[in-house]
Amino acid sequence: MVKALCVLIVIGFTGLIQSLPGSGNNATQIAEATYKNNNCVNCHAKVDEPLRVSARYYEWQFSRHQEKGVSCDKCHGGDPTATDKDKAHVDVLRSSEAQSRLSRNNQAATCSACHQPVVNAFVQSAHYQKLKSVGLGPNCNTCHAHMATTVIYSPKEVANLCSNCHNAADFLPPRPQIPRRASEAKMALQRANGVINWAALLLTEGRRLGLTLTEEQNEFKLAQQLLSDAKVSWHTFKLEDIQKNADGAFQKGTKVKDGLRKKIVAD
Ligand code: HEC
Ligand code: HEC
Ligand code: HEC
Ligand code: HEC
Ligand code: HEC
């Protein structure tokens, strides 16, 4: 049994490496075809000065957005068909400028073109109201690194982030329960992610063994949906609801995982 699990972990790990963006010729070829006519990408791939611009290209190159065909212009605007820099940059403004599509007030609307459920949740929050009125509160890029794929906060870092405003002297009335509960909500999300990844590995293994897994596959899809709902609900900052949703996803995922383990061991 232990041995079987070790094998599974190795298989899973290899799978992970193979699915890293940009690794392997296949992924590279697909990426090159996707961006062949996009001059933002073509030109920026060769821009190595100034550093503050060049570094951004490399963040994007290894992001989920790059993998999924989301080019610079989808967020920054501009004309990706123009080969001339100034023509391409028409309406590309620095995010520090109020009119930029990525300024603190416009960012959520720009992301909502593709992430409507998340943004709908976010705009309900007190944070969004404060961002709109006085520019105070975490924005999308506070938690998602520039190209907005990575979530850069561990549970402890989440607590620190919230503490910056909610448990700092002389700022807002201190509410130490906010960072504490936020850290728990983040842990609950990570645990749910973990069990769903585990179930996904077991499903792959079950298929490899030729087992019939129709029911398990359907249950797995439901568990994934619960996890996705939990992630969306994170953006409301209603900490009780987030934890409830994350724990719901965890319980469903655990059921699927345990069922699959039984079946695979029995085989
Ligand atoms: C022909 C080359 C070229 C093309 C095409 C191009 N860029 Fe640039 N871009 C640059 C260079 C070089 C810089 C560095 C600053 C400068 O020289 O203006 C830059 C700077 C930028 C900046 C940073 C602006 C700042 O000053 O902080 C952004 C954002 C940007 N480009 C986005 C885009 C987008 C989006 C597209 C496509 C619609 C695009 N670029 C097309 C060459 C290009
Ligand atoms: C998913 C949306 C998204 C995509 C795709 C994206 N960016 Fe950005 N970019 C942002 C956001 C948001 C900011 C401002 C916040 C920050 O600094 O993290 C930003 C900031 C920048 C900056 C710093 C200047 C500024 O306006 O703040 C540069 C340079 C830049 N991006 C270049 C690029 C290039 C080049 C590409 C394509 C290779 C690209 N970005 C793709 C969202 C995106
Ligand atoms: C043109 C469409 C588009 C825009 C605009 C866009 N995204 Fe995305 N985003 C995607 C796609 C497609 C994915 C991959 C979804 C998937 O894998 O199911 C994604 C994935 C993500 C993820 C999840 C990454 C992961 O590893 O699972 C985050 C976070 C994200 N986007 C944040 C943002 C933010 C913040 C903005 C605005 C600055 C933004 N996106 C703008 C299309 C977009
Ligand atoms: C306080 C931090 C924080 C802020 C602010 C934030 N997010 Fe997130 N976001 C998260 C966390 C945490 C997750 C869940 C990550 C995980 O568990 O994989 C997440 C997940 C996501 C996902 C993936 C959802 C899915 O179903 O997989 C998208 C897309 C996303 N965020 C977009 C945004 C956008 C757009 C904004 C701004 C309107 C934003 N986020 C603001 C922390 C934040
Ligand atoms: C940049 C400052 C800032 C950061 C960082 C920040 N907040 Fe806030 N938050 C605010 C402001 C401002 C308000 C509105 C307070 C008010 O109007 O009383 C608020 C309100 C809230 C509320 C609503 C309180 C209520 O009674 O309605 C919750 C919940 C909350 N924040 C949770 C969080 C969590 C969780 C984090 C960390 C992930 C966080 N905040 C990070 C500034 C911040």
Cβ atoms of residues 8 and 201 within 8 Å: yes
Residue 174 Cα to ligand 3 middle (Å): 33
pLDDT tier for residue 171 given thresholds of 50, 70 and 90 = confident
pLDDT at 30: 63
> Does the pLDDT of residue 8 top 50, yes or no?
no
Assess whether pLDDT exceeds 60 at residue 165: yes
Percentage of the chain exceeding pLDDT 70: 87
pLDDT greater at residue 26 or residue 62:
62
Phi first, then psi: give them for residue 115, nearest 5 degrees.
-125, 55
Q: Indicate the pTM of the whole model.
A: 0.89
Query: What pLDDT is attached to residue 118?
Result: 95
Euclidean distance between CA atoms 178 and 184, whole angstroms: 10
Nearest alpha carbon, ligand 1 atom 39: 40
- Gap from CA of 73 to ligand 5 centroid (Å): 31
Average pLDDT of the segment spanning 217-232: 95
| Per-residue three-class SS string for the chain | CHHHHHHHHHHHHHHHHHCCCCCHHHHHHHHHHHCCCCHHHHHHCCCCCCHHHHHHHHHHHCCHHHHCCCCHHHHHCCCCCCCCHHHHCCCCCCCCCCCCCCCCCCHHHHHHCCCHHHHHHHHCCHHHHHHHHHCCCCCHHHHECCCCCCECCCHHHHHHHHHHHHCCCCCCCCCCHHHHHHHHHHHHHHHHHHHHHHHHHHHHHHHHCCCCCHHHHHHHHHHHHHHHHHHHHHCCCCHHHHHHHHHHHHHHHHHHHHHHHHHHHHC
- Nearest ligand 3 atom to the CA of 70 is 1
User: What are the residue boundaries of the structural domains of the chain, listed by start?
Assistant: 23-92, 153-267
Residue 27: pLDDT band (50, 70, 90) is low
pLDDT at 7 over 50: no
pLDDT at 10: 38
Does residue 221 surpass a pLDDT of 90?
yes
Phi, then psi, of 208 in degrees rounded to 5: -60, -35
Comparison of pLDDT for 87 and 1, the residue scoring more: 87
pLDDT computed for residue 149 by the predictor:
65
pLDDT at 24 over 60: no
Class of CATH domain 153-267 = mainly alpha
Q: Which of 144, 197, 236, 250 to mutate to test the pocket of ligand 4 (most atoms within 8 A of CB)?
A: 144
What's the full length of the chain, in residues?
A: 267
* Shortest-distance atom of ligand 2 to CA 140: 12
Could you report the per-residue pLDDT of 104-130, keeping only the tens digit for each?
A: 889 999 999 999 999 999 999 999 988
Mean pLDDT (the chain) is 87
Which residues line the pocket of ligand 4, CB cutoff 6 A?
108, 111, 115, 118-119, 122, 138, 140, 142-144, 151, 186, 189, 193, 228, 231-232, 234-235
